[in-house]
Structure 1
Amino acid sequence: MDLSSVFSLNGKVALITGASKGIGLGIAEIFAAAGARVVISSRKQDALDEVANQLRAKGYEATGVACNVGNMNELPGLVEKTVEIYGGLDILVNNAASNPVFGPVHETSLEAFDKIMNVNVKAAFELCRLCFPHLRKSSHASVINISSIGGISPEQGLGIYSVSKAALISLTKVFAKEWGDAKIRVNAICPGLIQTKFSEALWSNEKIMEMIIKQLAIKRAGTSEEIGAMALFLASSASSYTTGGVFTADGGFTI
């Protein structure tokens, strides 16, 4: 058995949101190394061009397409551009996320609530809808939603963010159940504390980090590459009988 082919993404086209840095970039680089042609998206084209150039310098095929996923009117253009560039779509990774608040849930404004829900849930829903006609043409279609351990059990100070990630887990299961006949697999990854700019409010706070580390079986923060490796499993034929799954990568936090 040739295990290299099991994890290969040769010829596949992957669209990854929130991919100019952090977890999204980690996923993009691993997908590209596995042979995928990747479209990385975030809000700023300059940042995307810089990252895409870095990936191409390594011999990978990558294109940056700017899109604010919180603006539903921009999403059709993102999907259309991806298909226009590469001729199809096999993998969608809904990674873009927003959390403009940290503190007691009752202090969250309606404006912040709407922003969190738009980016973390509504955008993932709409991108799935828009990508469906293209994904169903693929012989190995996979959707990966990046949730959070907060979606399994609410995290202190991240109340509505946790609610949004719980909704994303439920959305994952709904799409997985309904899209099985179309041969589209849909799974979710729930990272724990990953050392990225997005989670800097946590890992840069010595008191919070000390409290978190005490609860971990693996006594450290995770890396974007570790989430990327799990995403590769879910994108590849290695997980061909896996759908509706919710996978934690949290150093044992949820044990």
Structure 2
Amino acid sequence: MPKTALITGATSGIGRATAELLAARGMHVIVSGRSADRGETVVRAIRAAGGSADFVAAELRGETSAKDLAARALELGGGHVDVLVNSAGVFPFGPTAETSTDGFDEVFDINVKAPYFLVAALAPAMAERGAGAIVNVTTMVAEFGAAGMGLCGASKAALVLLTKSWAAEFGPAGVRVNAVSPGPTRTEGTAAMGESLDALAAGGPAGRPGTANEIAEAVVFLASDAASFVHGAVLPVDGGRIAV
């Protein structure tokens, strides 16, 4: 029986690349995102390449939406989800004084509450089976201060701490929980940054932005048996930004 992987934010960027790689490695992938058109495009591409995939539309806003997505993924996965990749996220940039309450809540609903309640819905069953892998996608600005990135960074810093807490909670039962921390990455979502993305990346040893596929390869590694002794780790995939 193939493993089932649920990937949030899988209709574009890092999430899509992760779904395609996991499918290529023989997993049945549940592609989740807001856009049905983009989701079905990803599913068709995976199936055309010989993989197995289904799409579930989800507007992740916290507990109820997360639990609904988990239930649908379990249904499509034959009663089991073996890998959860929390890739969906929003990355606002701007002055603290211009942040609204609604904007603040939206960031934490998507970046923190949704992963929290997806783990709450799926990890206990993984623990009962004695196996499972959860990979959270964070960001390098969860690790250091950057003007205008406080809200995004704070939400992802919460996810870093949750990664370690969940590793301690579920690891003894065979569920590995880890995170990938991307640096500047060229995706549909960062296309509007233009040359500023290159300038941000220039400060690292790699001297360039990463690609969605490069980040996805790290996610897939942590989700695989090759990382069987890795628990609670936050893997920087940032072109060496952590080194400078």
Decide whether the 8 Å contact of 2:136 with 2:179 is kept in 1: yes
1:117-136 to structure 2, matched below 5 A, reads 117-136=108-127
CA distance in 2 between counterparts of 1:45 and 1:239 reads 33
Matching residue's letter, 1:47: R
In structure 2, distance between residues paired with 1:249 and 1:242: 16
Instruction: Read off the aligned partner of 2:216 and give its amino acid letter.
Output: G
Shift of 1:133: 3.2
| CA distance in structure 1 between the partners assigned to 2:225 and 2:185 by the alignment | 26
Q: 1:71 to 1:140 in 2, by over 3 A?
A: closer
CA distance in structure 1 between the aligned counterparts of 2:182 and 2:129, rounded to whole angstroms: 27
CA RMSD after TM alignment: 1.5
**2:89 aligned counterpart, secondary structure:** coil
Compared CA separation, residues 154 and 197, structure 1 to 2 (3 A): farther
In 2 relative to 1, CA 32–138 (structure 1 residues): closer, same or farther, beyond 3 Å? farther
Counterpart residue type for residue 97 of structure 1: G
Cα drift, residue 54 of structure 1: 1.3
2:175 alignment counterpart:
184
| Whole-angstrom CA distance in 2 between matches of 1:11 and 1:215 | 42
The answer to whether the aligner puts 1:149 opposite 2:137 as a matched pair is no
How far residue 75 of structure 1 moved from its aligned partner, in angstroms, is 2.0
Give the secondary-structure state (helix, strand or coil) at the position aligned to 1:73.
Answer: helix
Note if 1:36 corresponds to 2:27.
yes
Gaps spanning 5+ residues in structure 1: where?
1-9
Q: Deviations over 1:155-203 (max 9, x none)?
A: 332220011011110011111011122211100100001101222343x
CA contact (8 A) 2:133 2:177 kept: yes
Cα shift at 1:77: 2.2
Q: Is the Cα contact below 8 Å between 2:62 and 2:113 reproduced in 1?
A: no
Partner in structure 2 of residue 26 of structure 1: 17
Matched, 1:68 2:59: yes
Write out aligned runs for 1:1-255 (5 A).
11-87=2-78, 88-99=80-91, 101-202=92-193, 204=194, 206=195, 208-209=196-197, 211-255=199-243
Mapped partners of 2:201, 2:223: distance in 1: 30
Q: How far apart in 1 are the matches of 2:52 and 2:125? A: 20
In 2, the alpha carbon distance for the partners of 1:235 and 1:210 equals 29
Quick one: distance in 2 between partners of 1:216 and 1:126?
Answer: 35
Question: Percent same amino acid at aligned positions?
Answer: 36
Q: Report SS of the residue matched to 2:216.
A: helix
The aligned amino acid for 2:14 is I
Distance in 1 (alpha carbons) for counterparts of 2:208 and 2:23: 27
| Alpha-carbon spacing, 1:136–1:29, altered in 2? closer, same or farther (3 Å) | same
Greater CA drift, 41-50 or 110-119: 41-50
Deviation digits for residues 104-149 of structure 1 (CA, Å, limit 9, x no counterpart): 2222111111000110011110000011233224453000000000
Alignment length (residue pairs): 242
Aligned amino acid, residue 234 of structure 2: V
Q: What TM-score do you get using the length of structure 1 for normalisation?
A: 0.90
Residue 254 of structure 1 and its aligned partner are, at CA, apart by 1.4
Per the TM alignment, residue 219 of structure 1 is displaced from its structure 2 partner at its CA by 1.5
Report the Cα distance in structure 2 between the residues aligned to 1:214 and 1:84, rounded to whole angstroms.
45
Distance verdict in 2 for CA 1:67–1:213, change over 3 Å: closer
TM-score by length of 2: 0.94
